[in-house]
Amino acid sequence: MFELGATRGAPGHIDAATCVCEERHMLILVTGGLGAVGSPLVKELRGRGHEVWINDLRHHHDPQYLRGDVGEYRQLEQVIARRPFELVYHLAAEFGRWNGEDFYETMWHSNVIGTKNLLRLQERHRFRQVFFSSSEVYGDFAGDMSEDVMDRHEVKQMNDYALSKWVSEQQILNSAAMHGTESVRVRLFNTYGPGEPYSTYRSVICRFVYSALHDMPYTVYNGHTRTSTYISDMVFTLANIAERFKPGEVYNLAGTSYHDIKTVSDLILRLANKTDNLVTYSEGEPFTTKDKKVDATKAVRDLGHAPKVGLEEGIAATVKWMRDFYRVQ
């Protein structure tokens, strides 16, 4: 789990007192609440006094945990029926471009059918929803990624993961138009930090850090740029949505660290005291967005989004966490 505390701006720490909060506490459900973003979000929301219940796939000890697969309507219906939830943060999904290629059946079932199941229940129970989309929906767009890009340009999503998120966004808009449901969509940009265990399908910073610490080969694609967002900065803003909910809005959530992939790799290698002898350099990864330069001014204005943790500081905290977690030197 991400470690969250009371010092706003330090890696891994959030101070809820720096946001504008309503006094009323809410009854909230977080689907995917055991995940790399869901887990610290639950902790942050509880720290602000909300009653937060968790939904995920595996069995878990938390007394406010409700097991269930969002892709299975009956299971999700039982979860929603347990409490009169006012707000659902819908994080439950299969993550990642290559994961969506290798396990596309699960990807579409969880991401698209799961969202449709939740919408049907939202139409009946009238809770509000925060839907977690992705920067991947911007596909091959080459300019600054503002929220209205798809309204002004025909954008080609480049992989199944991106498509699943864009389809789900359209389902949410349709439900709002037909049934008056109230949702906010958020598009997360390259979130990283302590608390993300390694797999070959995880985020680029997670994979690079793990590989460097374990002397494993990895590939750096020189032809790509990203805007990375440290987890505490992301969770702070996500929690603010509960208190600043504006139905129908969509927000880019991103840090201020705009960089190429080699910059990240070089920084990780230096902090891990490694050389690049196991790194392969390539000019580009196919079917993957080349450049992610984001406009997040709308989230700054509406949600108090204020990234504090820089790339070097955040990666240093990530390297330290992974050393401890995997017990490597």
Residues β-bridged to residue 56: 67
**In the structure, what pLDDT confidence band is assigned to residue 18 with cuts at 50, 70 and 90?**
very low
Q: Looking at the domain assignment, is residue 117 inside a domain?
A: yes
**What residues make up the domain containing 124?**
16-326
Q: Looking at the domain assignment, is residue 1 inside a domain?
A: no
Rounded to an integer, what distance in angstroms lies between the CA atom of residue 264 and that of residue 234? 19
- Average of per-residue pLDDT across 273-297: 88
pLDDT, averaged across the chain? 92
When divided into structural domains, the chain yields a total of 1
Determine which helix (DSSP H) or strand (DSSP E) holds 78, and give its type and residue range: helix 73-81
Say if residue 122's pLDDT is above 50. yes
- Average of per-residue pLDDT across 63-86: 98
Question: What pTM value is reported for the model?
Answer: 0.91
Which CATH number is 306's domain given?
Answer: 3.40.50.720
Rounded to an integer, what distance in angstroms lies between the CA atom of residue 142 and that of residue 137? 13
The CA-to-CA distance between both ends of the chain, in Å, stands at 21
Q: Looking at the domain assignment, is residue 275 inside a domain?
A: yes
Q: Looking at the domain assignment, is residue 274 inside a domain?
A: yes
pLDDT at 14: 42
Could you report the per-residue pLDDT of 42-64, keeping only the tens digit for each?
999 999 999 999 999 999 999 99
In eight-state DSSP terms, residue 103 is T
Amino acid identity, position 143: G
User: CB burial class (10 A; 0-12, 13-18, 19+) of residue 218?
Assistant: middle
Q: Measured at the alpha carbon of residue 89, what is the angle toward residues 14 and 241, in degrees to the nearest 5?
A: 55
Q: Looking at the domain assignment, is residue 170 inside a domain?
A: yes
Determine which helix (DSSP H) or strand (DSSP E) holds 252, and give its type and residue range: strand 250-253
pLDDT at 212: 98
Q: Looking at the domain assignment, is residue 2 inside a domain?
A: no
Could you report the per-residue pLDDT of 175-220, keeping only the tens digit for each?
999 999 999 999 999 999 999 999 999 999 999 999 999 999 999 9
Q: Looking at the domain assignment, is residue 3 inside a domain?
A: no
Q: Which residues, in sequence order, are CB contacts of 255 under 8 Å at separation 6+?
A: 189, 190, 227, 228, 229, 230, 233, 234, 307, 309, 311
The first and second tokens of residue 183, run together, are: 């949702």
Q: Looking at the domain assignment, is residue 8 inside a domain?
A: no
